[in-house]
A = this chain, B = another copy of it.
């Protein structure tokens, strides 16, 4: 099975558990990974947005990736987050990830200086791809980077063997479909992964290859089931079951809401996040707990 084939299905963008003093908690991370692997997740993505990568030091990113590779133990591929604002820093993150055994690297457009012309992002990604020792997964998340990756840019990169696919977290299905259409012309194997949980079933029904979804941290079995049954009635029911908890992610932030759900569910011991993120306020906890109960019940 090729790497692309392995990545059809659901990849989990794992949270990075911290202890009460804000230090990475490897024991909790180990418990989380065990929970996810038991839940039939198809891939692991440490150091993404939900993983608070931008609040981790270089050493922490490398170690979280290494630990994830060790725990995955070849069972599922590991895609290491390697986003940064400069070509050199992205390449450093990629080589760190390669050194500890990651299978691929996930890269966003730069997120302080946005490209002043359409060619800028393409040049940024091409320079990285030329130098990288790992294949790349493009990651579109304009809410965080200030600028999306144009469908034309994705299509231009899709023809390269070392660019596997796209994770799209824009929340814009028209963009997803247009990009899927243009990328398929360049490479029929290009992976289209839906990163916005509320659009997962519609994307799968339109031919997406899978999802990379924050809430698969909380309910991996429900997501695996959703992927298998997406085109049927069961898939729609599961999408509905996801909706309320996803609203909480929109309201309180992905890492705070997902960690709160995981703490309530007993997978990690603490929902601590690093600044500027703040924990879910007391009056938001009960709602999340109710949503978790609803989502986990839907797994049966």
Contacts and interface: CB of A to CB of B under 8 A. Distances in A.
A278 interface: yes
Given A205-B202, A274-B86, A111 B110 contact: no
Contacts of A121: 276
A99 interface: no
A54 B54 CA distance: 13
B57 A276 contact: no
A124 B239 CA distance: 33
Given A177-B202, A181-B240, A114 B276 contact: yes
A171 interface: yes
Contacts of A113: 49, 52, 54-55, 144, 253, 255, 276-277
A72 interface: no
Interface residues of A, number: 61
Interface in A89-116: 89, 109-116
Contact of A256 (B116, B145, B281): B116
A300 interface: no
B85 A55 contact: yes
A278 B119 contact: yes
Contacts of A199: 173-174
Contacts of A252: 116-117
Report the 10 A-B pairs with minimum CB-CB distance, sorted nearest first: A116-B253, A120-B276, A54-B85, A115-B276, A54-B112, A124-B275, A205-B205, A124-B276, A55-B86, A173-B173
